[in-house]
């Protein structure tokens, strides 16, 4: 990961907050993701898979931007719990992981 200030870090996971705007196209941190992995957007909200994963990559979205699948509570604590119930299986169960990730897990 290379930051705008020139710092570089290597990591397995990145956690970030996407703020209070409900339009994925206005989020600077997601513009590169949108360019690399274009997806359908409905009224500013990304169309995620059932695990709240950005299609074609291992990026998971929760909070207001996940409202289409989580519902109106997406921005509060009960929404966070609901989102975790969708995300955790995709992270910890190889059967829910993307096929390329499944191959990596099986290889070692």
The reply to whether 16 falls in a domain is: no
Containing structural domain, residue 101: 24-107
The reply to whether 54 falls in a domain is: yes
- pLDDT of 82 above 60: yes
The reply to whether 92 falls in a domain is: yes
The reply to whether 7 falls in a domain is: no
**Structural domain tally of the chain?**
1
Q: Which residue has the tokens 């989102």?
A: 83
DSSP 55-90: TTSS-B--GGGGHHHH-TTTTSHHHHHHHHHHHHHH
The reply to whether 75 falls in a domain is: yes
pTM above 0.85, yes or no: no
Per-residue pLDDT reduced to its tens digit, 21-68: 788 898 888 888 999 999 999 999 999 999 999 998 888 999 999 999
The reply to whether 19 falls in a domain is: no
CA 56 to chain centre: 11
Answer for the pair 30, 9: CB distance below 8 angstroms, yes or no.
Answer: no
The reply to whether 81 falls in a domain is: yes
The reply to whether 73 falls in a domain is: yes
Per-residue pLDDT reduced to its tens digit, 1-20: 777 778 887 877 666 555 66
């Amino acid at each position: 990961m290379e930051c705008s200030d020139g710092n570089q870090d290597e990591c397995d996971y990145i956690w970030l907050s996407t703020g209070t705007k409900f339009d994925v196209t206005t989020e600077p941190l997601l513009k590169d993701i949108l360019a690399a992995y274009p997806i359908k957007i409905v009224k500013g909200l990304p169309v995620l898979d059932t695990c709240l994963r950005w299609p074609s990559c291992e990026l998971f979205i929760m909070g207001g931007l996940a409202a289409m699948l989580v519902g109106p509570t997406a921005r509060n604590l009960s929404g966070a719990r609901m989102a975790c119930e969708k995300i955790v299986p995709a992270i910890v169960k190889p059967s829910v992981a993307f096929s390329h990730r499944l191959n990596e897990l099986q290889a070692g």
